[in-house]
Chains A and B, each alone.
Chain A
């Protein structure tokens, strides 16, 4: 164990050293290839070399980053697209057979349906709770402590959160004492304990609760910052005009933070499309809880793996993300133009 940690620290030092060495050496090499001498050299040569250095240097700086992005993100997107037209081992071209399979597969349709359900509930719930909590915590003296506590689940892994919630949903059969909080509450009010996570359709919502619990803090932090940025005059003016608190919130404040609400909504939407860990650990897709990311993972290894089918499923997730991606790029462009 100790030797493993030592090798990890060794990797950190070696990695940082190698990176630094690359940047340093490449810079030195650049100066060697395009020399600029003080005083005695030809001024035109010197200025030409300076210009050349300036045109090459950005690519030296960007090189390692672009290499990583290219190998790990750009190339795989293209390769996955191509693989989706090939058979399970990726060797024989099968045309649209994998797509045809997907459309007719009951489990795939189930996953699409569940993903839509997640998309409809989780971003809306997180944004709504986040906004309400942000407004309330900004008005009390211990608001920052409260925010910290609500924000904390962000640091917990999805797997850890699943264990935490599985304990809440725990069911004991027969006459045993219910040790799951939810069933104990149900029993306290005279209801019958239920096996929550194997209750078709409704179990999806019990899984969603976990993600909402994790992500509300994120929405709250971002929206709280946006609320603080609202110019005071707009609210003052509304107060003078006799608006009540409710009207001020919905008609003055919310419209001014639409942009931020959209950002929060889309960020959580992307997260929801990729939701994997929670479903894997809670149900592994059983009892009609399958979602796309889990189905894709399943097909990657099921029966030795089927790269064609899982590529199709990955592409469906990608297609769902693409509109948001384009919107993000536009926003970023607009923002950098404003710089």
Chain B
């Protein structure tokens, strides 16, 4: 039994805990859930009502004109115009109607409304109306009627189709993959070799290098930007290459992830049983062979932890990509594209929410599938106190 288990018997009533945690979970999920729902709604509905009403549909007040007098037919002593307030293909339910703008929902649906001067108007829930008059109708413009219409919940994948093609999110998705995959994999081997040297090889300066790695873990990226930008420009000019390229971003991400990679892997590799490595040495294996045949396979969990961190970090990064890859339309990664859309399409929530969801879907999938490794990495990555 753990300490927490024994606390369980004496602490707050269990029900309070259940409810509090439930409330916190809902609070934490609502923001993401909101954009998920919104990204599947139709643009008109998004601005007409909050996403939390998406399931109940939205209700709006609109005005339409009925057919004019030329469409009237005579039935007995009354003249009748009938039709539908909806255009073909339009769906909705009329909740109330009126004929004056000051009272747009004066009358109930389905009941004949007496408009005076021998006129009555009935509007049914499905939108069909019957307008009668004891005298002939005037021709010309039809009478205006105000309606409170509830639109049924309607969901669409249009927004996704739009952002993936016309808004360039599809291209950015590919750019993000192009940045993230090499930047995740290339540093692993380099860091693993270094971590092995720092764990199982004796040499002068080892403690110093280790201290330097720990120190470099927290150096702000901002310190590196100006000199590196100058260096990239100089190197580019020297060899006639563009100063902003994927290769440059891969190297930058690899280097910025290096301190954490070395630290994580060293923590793990130095904790491997000494006997295995020593018996391999006695059998005449060189350090190189020991590393390839023993250390790499054994450190898989730590390698996976780092790979997840690095992938999330490179996929979600905005600063490095903006500085070293540029902000042209073709070079934007997903985060950059989303940032640009916030500027150019601000307020067009169907585009923003769908784009945001495309951006976050990959890391969230990675997170849920590989959470175990992520947590393990977090626990060994933070310098433990005490």
Chain A partners chain B: yes
Cβ-defined contact, B177 with A155, below 8 A: no
Separation in Å of the B238 CB from the closest CB of chain A?
Answer: 15
Contacts known (A160-B359, A331-B383, A333-B211); A179 close to B49, Cβ less than 8 A: yes
Contacts of B285 in A (CB 8 A): none
Contacts of B194 in A (CB 8 A): 61-62, 64-66
Contacts of B250 in A (CB 8 A): 11, 15
Contacts known (A176-B47, A339-B270); A307 close to B230, Cβ less than 8 A: yes
Cβ-defined contact, B363 with A140, below 8 A: no
Say whether B31 faces chain A, with CB atoms less than 8 Å apart.
Answer: yes
Contacts known (A154-B367, A159-B318); A12 close to B190, Cβ less than 8 A: no
Cβ-defined contact, B31 with A310, below 8 A: no
Say whether B297 faces chain A, with CB atoms less than 8 Å apart.
Answer: no
Separation in Å of the B356 CB from the closest CB of chain A?
Answer: 4
Cβ-defined contact, A163 with B35, below 8 A: yes
Cβ-defined contact, A231 with B223, below 8 A: no
Separation in Å of the A280 CB from the closest CB of chain B?
Answer: 7
Cβ-defined contact, A155 with B258, below 8 A: no
B369-386 CB mask vs A (1 if < 8 Å, else 0) is: 001000100110011111
Separation in Å of the A124 CB from the closest CB of chain B?
Answer: 17
Q: What's the Cα separation between A152 and B186 when bound, in Å?
A: 26
B3-36 CB mask vs A (1 if < 8 Å, else 0) is: 1111111111010011011101100111110110
Contacts of B55 in A (CB 8 A): none
Say whether A158 faces chain B, with CB atoms less than 8 Å apart.
Answer: yes
Say whether B118 faces chain A, with CB atoms less than 8 Å apart.
Answer: no
Q: What's the Cα separation between A162 and B386 when bound, in Å?
A: 36
Cβ-defined contact, B382 with A264, below 8 A: yes
Set A138, A172, A213: member contacting B4, Cβ < 8 A? A138
Separation in Å of the B148 CB from the closest CB of chain A?
Answer: 14
Say whether A200 faces chain B, with CB atoms less than 8 Å apart.
Answer: no
Say whether A75 faces chain B, with CB atoms less than 8 Å apart.
Answer: yes
Contacts of A80 in B (CB 8 A): 223-224, 226-227
Separation in Å of the A272 CB from the closest CB of chain B?
Answer: 11
Separation in Å of the B101 CB from the closest CB of chain A?
Answer: 14
**B residues in contact (CB < 8 Å) with A:** 1-12, 14, 17-18, 20-22, 24-25, 28-32, 34-35, 38, 46-52, 170-171, 174-175, 177-178, 181-182, 185-187, 189-191, 193-194, 196-198, 201-203, 206-207, 209-231, 246-247, 250-252, 254-256, 258-259, 262, 270, 286-288, 291, 312, 315-319, 323, 334-335, 338-339, 342, 349, 352-353, 355-356, 359-360, 363-364, 366-368, 371, 375, 378-379, 382-386
- Interface size class on chain A is 35 or more
30 A-B pairs in the complex with CB atoms less than 8 angstroms apart:
A5-B174, A8-B181, A8-B246, A9-B181, A11-B186, A16-B189, A23-B189, A64-B194, A66-B194, A68-B254, A83-B227, A139-B14, A139-B17, A152-B28, A152-B32, A158-B316, A165-B31, A177-B48, A179-B51, A225-B379, A231-B3, A232-B5, A235-B6, A245-B10, A259-B384, A267-B382, A274-B220, A297-B225, A297-B319, A326-B215
Cβ-defined contact, B193 with A65, below 8 A: yes
Say whether A87 faces chain B, with CB atoms less than 8 Å apart.
Answer: no
Q: Apart from A228-B2, A328-B217, what are 5 other A-B pairs with CB-CB below 8 Å?
A: A4-B175, A140-B18, A157-B359, A230-B3, A314-B220
Separation in Å of the A212 CB from the closest CB of chain B?
Answer: 11
Cβ-defined contact, A19 with B203, below 8 A: no
Contacts of B384 in A (CB 8 A): 259-260, 263, 331, 335
B6's closest neighbor in chain A, by CB? A235
Cβ-defined contact, B359 with A11, below 8 A: no
Contacts known (A69-B259, A318-B219); A245 close to B11, Cβ less than 8 A: yes
Q: What's the Cα separation between A176 and B47 when bound, in Å?
A: 8
B47's closest neighbor in chain A, by CB? A179
Separation in Å of the A56 CB from the closest CB of chain B?
Answer: 9
Closest 10 CB pairs of A and B: A259-B385, A259-B386, A72-B255, A157-B316, A79-B227, A155-B367, A65-B194, A245-B11, A61-B197, A76-B224
Contacts of A92 in B (CB 8 A): none
Say whether A103 faces chain B, with CB atoms less than 8 Å apart.
Answer: no
A16-42 CB mask vs B (1 if < 8 Å, else 0) is: 100110011001000100000000000
Cβ-defined contact, A181 with B52, below 8 A: yes
Contacts of B38 in A (CB 8 A): 167
Cβ-defined contact, B385 with A68, below 8 A: no
B11's closest neighbor in chain A, by CB? A245
Q: What's the Cα separation between A235 and B352 when bound, in Å?
A: 50
Set A146, A170, A270, A274: member contacting B25, Cβ < 8 A? A146
Say whether A106 faces chain B, with CB atoms less than 8 Å apart.
Answer: no
Cβ-defined contact, A336 with B210, below 8 A: yes
